[in-house]
């Protein structure tokens, strides 16, 4: 099968900083792919590149067959992007927020109402349609953001730490929705800070300082590192990398022994 997301040496620099460094990732249709890494690893920048929101400095990426830098307009219809701080209008109700996002995508009339009802049902948000977004719990806010992202029926969903700060029960609810979407054939590419969530992904990419350090199924990652959990793999890998960096600095010091 042709990959639905494929990057070739994808690189993005901000001045002297390389936020994403020669990234090579390929995701199959229907997969759920999890990107993990410490703060500042380059996860958000990767998502923004894949959604065509910023241009690569070098290298390329194709999503749903479109070149993300040259065909970002055509790409927009195929993807949904739930940003790390998704823009909900706190004074508008749940229903009004959805109407606003439907308008942005040119979804109107009966079609709009049908889609809204379907999403409210799927996320079990029906009782809260008239509540102002600012008065929702953290978990419900994230569900609303997800609904707004799904209104135009994207084939690929990009989620940036969608359950950050959400309680465990609401996180489980959120995952029930993600599984439902996967069953419908949607591909999901997510950045997550939770390793138990990464464990639920088909494949996991571990990013550090812009580079993809490891990329495999959770099982393969654990086996390779001789660890029982992904958390163990993560900590071991980061320690090794940072240990090596400290070692390098030591040995390149003027007057050092190396
Ligand atoms: N627009 C920008 N201008 C300058 N530097 C940027 C910009 N966007 C990101 N960076 C830098 O690029 C690096 C990667 O940032 P990014 O937001 O992609 O990391 P992240 O893995 O999503 O981190 P977090 O877990 O904190 O969300 C960071 O050092 C960040 O400061
Ligand atoms: Mg981020």
Q: pTM here? A: 0.92
pLDDT at position 252 is 57
CATH number of the domain to which 221 belongs: 3.40.50.300
15 within a domain of the structure (yes/no)? yes
Tokens at 111, concatenated = 């079609």
pLDDT value at position 256?
42
Kindly state whether residue 121 falls inside one of the protein's structural domains.
no
Report pLDDT for 129.
Answer: 95
How confident is the model at residue 17, as a pLDDT?
97
Distance 92 CA to ligand 2 centre (A): 26
Report the nearest atom of ligand 1 relative to the CA of 207: 21
Give me the domain span that covers residue 44.
1-78+192-258
Q: Is there a domain that residue 246 lies in? A: yes
Q: Is residue 217 part of a domain?
A: yes
- Helix axis angle, 138-150 to 109-122, nearest 10°: 140
Q: Is the CB of 44 under 6 A from ligand 1?
A: yes
Query: Does some domain include residue 142?
Result: no
Q: How confident is the model at residue 170 (pLDDT cuts 50, 70, 90)?
A: confident
In a domain, 55, yes or no: yes
In the predicted model, is pLDDT for residue 104 greater than 80? yes
Give the pLDDT band (50/70/90) at residue 197: very high
Confidence at residue 247, expressed as pLDDT on a 0 to 100 scale: 65
Confidence of residue 29 (pLDDT cuts 50, 70, 90): very high
Please report the DSSP string for 83-147 in residue order. -TT----TTSBHHHHHHHHHHHTT--HHHHHHHHHHHHHHTT-GGGTTSBGGGS-HHHHHHHHHH
Q: How many domains does the chain have?
A: 1
Question: Whose Cα sits closest to atom 25 in ligand 1?
Answer: 39
User: Is position 134 within any domain?
Assistant: no
């Amino acid at each position: 099968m042709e990959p639905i997301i494929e990057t070739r040496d994808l690189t993005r620099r901000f001045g002297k900083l390389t936020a994403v460094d020669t990234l090579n990732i390929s995701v199959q249709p229907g997969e759920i792919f999890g990107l993990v890494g410490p703060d500042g690893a380059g996860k958000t920048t990767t998502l923004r590149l894949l959604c065509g929101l910023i241009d690569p400095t070098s290298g390329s990426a194709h999503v749903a067959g479109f070149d993300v830098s040259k065909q970002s307009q055509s790409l927009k219809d195929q993807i949904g992007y739930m940003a790390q701080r998704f823009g909900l209008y706190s004074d508008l109700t749940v229903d009004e927020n959805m109407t606003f996002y439907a308008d942005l995508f040119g979804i109107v009339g009966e079609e709009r109402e049908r889609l809204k009802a379907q999403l409210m049902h799927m996320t079990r948000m029906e009782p809260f349609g008239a509540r102002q977004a600012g008065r929702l719990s953290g978990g419900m806010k994230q569900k609303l953001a997800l609904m707004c992202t799904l209104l135009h029926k994207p084939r690929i969903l990009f989620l940036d730490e969608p359950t950050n700060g959400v309680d465990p029960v609401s996180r489980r609810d959120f995952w029930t929705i993600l599984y439902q979407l996967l069953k419908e054939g949607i591909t999901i590419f997510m950045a997550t800070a939770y390793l138990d969530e990464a464990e639920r992904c088909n494949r996991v990419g571990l990013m550090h300082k812009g580079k993809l350090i490891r990329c495999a199924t959770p099982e393969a990652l654990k086996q390779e590192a001789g660890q029982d959990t992904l958390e163990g793999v993560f900590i071991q890998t980061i320690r090794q990398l940072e240990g090596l960096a400290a070692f390098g600095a030591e040995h390149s010091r003027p007057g050092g022994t190396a």
